[in-house]
Amino acid sequence: MPAIHPSAIVETESIGEGVAIGEFAVIRPGVVLGDRVRIHPHVVVETGVEIEEGTEVLPQGYVGRRPRAVGAIVREPTFREVLRIGAGCSIGANAVLYYDTEIGPDTLIGDGAFVRERVRIGAHCVVGRSVGIDRDVHVGERTSIMSTSLIVAKSRIGKGVFIAHGVVTTNDNALGAEGWDEERVAGATIEDGARIAANATLLPGVKVGRDAVVGAGSVVTRDVAAATRVMGVPARPA
């Protein structure tokens, strides 16, 4: 039997065995909670969300946020009102997961992280505290993105990648002056097994090849060949 605190608002009937729902949590109609899911106090889970067995969502997490374009935003968001979190995941306190996101099993999303719409994150990944993952990003399995890093829209990250603390990717050489252009704007591509050290910056559209290493504090202005080590400003082979 599920253990549901009396103060929680639970509007779904799709609740597995051994589910625990804490104080003042809100679970909307149509949510699917697998066996042994744990929803901590003050979590909001919106309609269309599926959380598989053994996953927990820590206090004040928001799962299923709708993107919204206000007057200052030139791009109208496009998304599906679905979200799936695989088995055995942990979603940190105050984390925000937008609609149209898929998170593979045994993945950790750190406290205060945000994951925007149209994002796919593979199995056995780590997304650290206060990491930002913008829309339309793909992250391969067994990849780690450490605390305070930013992965911008339209970036592609392979399998087994390590991105250290404070890494910044960028996608617009015009710095917003020319508005949003899907054809012109390009995020980073980081191929399987690459390593990006702390506080590095990747400029729009650069590709870091398979098993390459980018040194701490580097500014990557051009593609990095596979199995190459670069460092410096601008980054050059070391």
Model pLDDT for residues 180-199, shown as the tens digit of each residue: 777 788 999 999 999 999 99
Cα distance between residue 189 and residue 183, in whole Å: 16
**Under a CB-based contact definition with an 8 Å cutoff, are residues 85 and 66 in contact?**
no
Q: Tell me the per-residue pLDDT of 152-175, one tens digit each, with 9 for 90 and over.
A: 999 999 999 999 999 999 998 877
**Under a CB-based contact definition with an 8 Å cutoff, are residues 44 and 22 in contact?**
no
Cα distance between residue 149 and residue 126, in whole Å: 12
Model pTM score: 0.95
Percent of the chain with pLDDT over 70: 97
- Site of tokens 């609609």: 99
- Band of pLDDT at residue 45, cut at 50, 70 and 90: very high
**Under a CB-based contact definition with an 8 Å cutoff, are residues 207 and 187 in contact?**
no
pLDDT at 72: 63
